């Protein structure tokens, strides 16, 4: 899967793709959804 993603993103080095995936995963975990605090009655 990573080589395919690497090609689609146009990266020459697989480590570049891995670096972007690691960064984006960390950033996504910091996102707080407004729906998390939604109270339904």
Residues 13-34: pLDDT tens digits? 888 888 877 766 667 677 788 8
- pLDDT of residue 39 exceeding 80, the answer is yes
Structure tokens at 22: 């690691």
Both structure tokens of 14:
């697989």
6 CB neighbour count, 10 Å cutoff: 18
pTM: 0.46
CA angle (16, 23, 19) in 5-degree steps: 15
């Amino acid at each position: 899967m990573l080589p395919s993603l690497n090609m689609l993103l146009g990266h020459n080095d697989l480590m570049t793709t891995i670096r972007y995936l690691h960064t984006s995963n960390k950033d996504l975990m910091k996102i707080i959804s407004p729906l998390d605090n939604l109270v339904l009655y």
